[in-house]
Structure formats: C-alpha cells, structure tokens
Amino acid sequence: MSKLWTNKTASDSKLEQKIHAFLAAKDIELDKELICFDIEASQAHANALASIGVLKGDENSKIQQSLNGLLQKIKDKQFELTDKFEDCHSAIEFYLINELGDLGKKIHTGRSRNDQVLVATRLYSKQKIIQLIELNKNIASTLLAKAQEYQFTAMPGYTHLQQAVVSSWGMWFAAFAESFIDNIDYAKKILHWIDANPLGTAAGYGVNLPLNRDLTTQQLGFSRLQINPIYAQNSRGKFELSVLSCFKQSMLDARKFAWDLSLFSMTELDFIKQSDVFTTGSSIMPNKRNPDVVELIRASYAKIQAAYQEVENLLSLPTGYHRDLQFSKRPLIEGISEALSCLDLLPELINDLTVNQEQAEQQITPDMYKTDLSIEYALKGVPFREAYLEIKNNTMDLSGYTPDKSIQNRTSPGACANLMLDELEKRLLDN
Ligand code: ARG
C-alpha cells in the first residue's frame, strides 16, 4: 500500500491498514467510474505541460502513448483498480512510473489530486447528463405516441382524488410528455452551467507556472474556464448538487407517473393494464398480480433525494479543499446510476400500457358535467356565480351530455380537444 506522498516503504501495520481502509472508504470502487476521465484529463495536462516546455522532446508523446495503453488495458480488463492504490489518481501515476521510470514522475508537475478529482468528476457528470437527456427524449417521445393513440379517449379528471370534470387519456399522457421535455431543457441548462474547466487550479491556489489552461479547456471540450482556483475547490459539491437536481426533476416525474399507475391499476378502478412482465405474482395469494415495478420506480425517488441531501449536508465547510468532500462521490455516482437504471425502464413500461377505455368512461358520472353546464349558462348571459349556485342547488337534466361532447368542446390551447401534440413534438425535436 505505497503512497504517492511519502518515500517511506509502507510498514503495513494493522493500524496503518485500518487507517488506509478508512481513508479510502469506497473510493476504489467509485473511482472505477472516474479513472478513464482522469486519464483523459492527465493527457490534456501533459499536452499543456509540453506546450510550455515543462515536458521536453518526445517526453510528452511517451506519456501519451503510455496513457493510451492504460486506457486500452482498462477496456480489455487487463488493468484493475485495486485497493493497493489510494485512489485512481495515484494508480495512474504509479502506472506511468512503472512504465516510464523517472519520466512518469513528471506528470504531477503543477497539478494536485484536488483539481484532478474535480476535473474527472466534471467530465463524468457531463457524460451522465447527456445520457439523462437522451433518456428524457425517449420517455417523452413514447409518451407523445401514447397521447396520440388515446388522444380523445375519455377519463375522469380528479382533484383531491375526487371526481372533477371530464378529461382524456391524451391529456394525461401529454402532461408527462411536456414535463419530460422541460426536463431536457433543464438538464441542458445545467450541462452548460457545469461546463467549466477546473484543471490547472492545483490544490486550490494555482501554481508558479504559466499553465496553459486554455489548451486543456479546449482539449477536454469544456466551453469555458473555471477561473478562480479557490472557487474551483469551493464548487465541489455545489456542482454535484446541480447535477443531482437534473436527475431529481426526472425522478419526480417518474414518481408521480408511477403513483398514478399504481392508483389506476387498483382493482376497483381498473383503468390501466400492464403485461405480466411488469407485474409479479403473490407467493401466497393465487389471485394476485402486483405492480411491483411501478412501486419500485416510485420508491426510487427516495434514493436520489437522499443522495442530494447527503451532498448538501457535507458542504458545511470553510473555503478550500477538505477531505470531507471525498464523501460527495458516493451519493453522486450511486444516485445517478440508480436514477438512470430506473428511468431506463420507462419507455418500455409506457409503451406496454393499455387503457381500459370502457371502464374509464363508465366512471364519468353526470355530475361531472355541471361545470360545463355552468359555463354554458354564463355564455347565455347568466352571471357565472348565479349559474353555479343554481346548478349546485337544483336537480338538472344532464342526460344530453356525453364524455365525447365534453371533450370536443374543450378547445382552448392545451385542453382536451386541442392538446397541441404537434407543438410538443416540435419542442422535443428542437431540443
Ligand atoms: N479521494 C480524494 C477526494 O475525492 C482525492 C483528493 C485527495 N486530496 C487530498 N488533498 N487528500 O477528495
């Protein structure tokens, strides 16, 4: 268990081992997600060092080659990050020293693990937000297809879980489609917000070298520089929160959608059917199919929320790097991975849904047309409040109303007869 920061040979006493394990915590496991980004950033750093003459002649190309080799070995599973290293940063440096001898020892000139972990985490986060955007797109487009399929299919609209007015399945599906389209927009804004290069800020105070930070910004594909080294360190955790917030937005929608499905598939309502693949049987009750997938999607929100809170709670710190910040990695990486695997199920789950049209329509009671009738009175000149009270207090003949007619009369933008699915489709494609 050698360390980068000492030339003492590790004695590996019991206590040292215990402390090593405590300090590394789950870093080795988590750094498996970061190591390739760390290598990419190390390559950019070496190029930047060469550009200011710190690496000479063919030194940089040897480092580049060696790092490419390491990337390939990771892909081919010939290199494994194990707990003989402190973290992925030291593993990369040990690898270079092992391959290139003294030249490998030059890689860390002008950088610190503090800016190394920042840049690797940032590149990782950007990639994950891009994956989230793609998933949001798939989900939104599946929802739009369902909205089209059930555009004019009636369902009861509820407020307070009490019957309210006529609604449509088209409107319900389109509601979630619009929400997921907005999530794309939100994620893109956060993607831009975190797209700033922290590499070259070292331990949080810069170094006595004219580091070519513009070169690393451009090579790593960042849209701007994170200028101030203290700010770069202080943004650790703060940026992670914004990344997690994108995942929270989508998971909030997933939770509400799952809640609706669980309600709509309740035996007495029976509005929605799912195929057997999305439900499970009971070990004791032969009569049952249970919507377990939907329920675990609903429950998954708790995990992303917990991850968010865990990071937030770590941030009660003064300026600069503190080892506390290492603990922001686990909630970030695990929160994201759980959210992605949950959201990944949604397109197929949505696609699989069938609406029990007859049953949903049957639950629309005549009372639900009373709002329509009040408005019709108002159109004939009766002040709305008077119309409302008259209809509320008297028995009315509502036999001429049907769900279809009620839907067709709702023509304002967004309402049942005018869901503006084309506009939603356009927003999705423009995103
Ligand atoms: N594993 C550490 C982290 O995530 C890496 C940075 C270590 N820096 C230090 N000064 N000990 O924060």
**DSSP states along 239-252:** HHHHHHHHHHHHHH
234 C-alpha to ligand 1 centroid (Å): 14
54 C-alpha to ligand 1 centroid (Å): 25
How many Cβ atoms from other residues are within 10 Å of residue 246's Cβ?
A: 26
- pLDDT confidence bin for 2, thresholds 50/70/90: low
- What distance in Å separates the CA atoms of residue 153 and residue 230, rounded to the nearest whole number? 58
CA triplet 319, 307, 221: central angle to 5 degrees?
Answer: 65
- What is the full DSSP assignment across 147-196? HHHTTT-EEEEEETTEEEEEEEHHHHHHHHHHHHHHHHHHHHHHHHHT-E
pLDDT of residue 1: 54
- pLDDT confidence bin for 282, thresholds 50/70/90: confident
For ligand 1, atom 11, name the residue with the nearest CA.
323
pLDDT of residue 286: 87
Mutate to test the pocket of ligand 1, among 87, 327, 328 (most ligand atoms within 8 A of CB): 87
User: Quick check: 428 pLDDT over 90?
Assistant: yes
Q: Which tens digits make up the pLDDT trace of 23-62?
A: 888 889 999 999 999 999 999 999 999 999 999 989 999 9
For ligand 1, atom 2, name the residue with the nearest CA.
326
Superfamily grouping for domain 114-210+227-362: Fumarase/aspartase (Central domain) (1.20.200.10)
Q: Which tens digits make up the pLDDT trace of 184-227?
A: 999 999 999 999 999 999 999 999 999 999 999 999 999 999 99
Tell me what percent of the residues of the chain surpass a pLDDT of 90: 90
161 C-alpha to ligand 1 centroid (Å): 50
For ligand 1, atom 3, name the residue with the nearest CA.
326
Boundaries of every domain in the chain: 14-109, 114-210+227-362, 366-425
For ligand 1, atom 1, name the residue with the nearest CA.
326
Q: What is the rounded (10 degree) CA torsion for 289, 292, 294, 296?
A: 170
Mutate to test the pocket of ligand 1, among 113, 199, 314 (most ligand atoms within 8 A of CB): 113
User: Quick check: 5 pLDDT over 70?
Assistant: no
pLDDT of residue 10: 60
User: Quick check: 363 pLDDT over 90?
Assistant: yes
- What is the full DSSP assignment across 350-394? HHH-EE-HHHHHHT--GGGGHHHHHHHHHHTT--HHHHHHHHHHS
For ligand 1, atom 12, name the residue with the nearest CA.
326
- Report the DSSP pairing between strands 272-273 and 224-225: unpaired
pTM: 0.95
314 C-alpha to ligand 1 centroid (Å): 15
Name residues contacting ligand 1 (CB within 6 A): 27, 87, 113-114, 117, 321, 323, 325-326, 329
Q: What is the rounded (10 degree) CA torsion for 216, 217, 221, 225?
A: 160
CA triplet 212, 221, 321: central angle to 5 degrees?
Answer: 65
The atom of ligand 1 lying closest to the CA of 203 is 10
- pLDDT confidence bin for 368, thresholds 50/70/90: very high
Q: Which of 425, 380, 372 is nearest to 401 (CA)?
A: 372
Mutate to test the pocket of ligand 1, among 4, 19, 117, 332 (most ligand atoms within 8 A of CB): 117
pLDDT of residue 83: 85
CATH fold of 14-109 reads: Fumarase C; Chain B, domain 1 (1.10.275)
Which own/partner contact pairs does 318-324 have at CB distance under 8 Å and 24+ positions apart?
319/230, 319/233, 319/234, 320/204, 320/230, 320/233, 320/234, 321/114, 321/203, 321/204, 321/233, 321/236, 323/23
- pLDDT confidence bin for 288, thresholds 50/70/90: confident
117 C-alpha to ligand 1 centroid (Å): 7
Q: Which of 261, 253, 258, 250 is nearest to 339 (CA)?
A: 250
184 C-alpha to ligand 1 centroid (Å): 32
Q: Which of 117, 83, 132, 291 is nearest to 204 (CA)?
A: 117
- What distance in Å separates the CA atoms of residue 299 and residue 254, rounded to the nearest whole number? 10
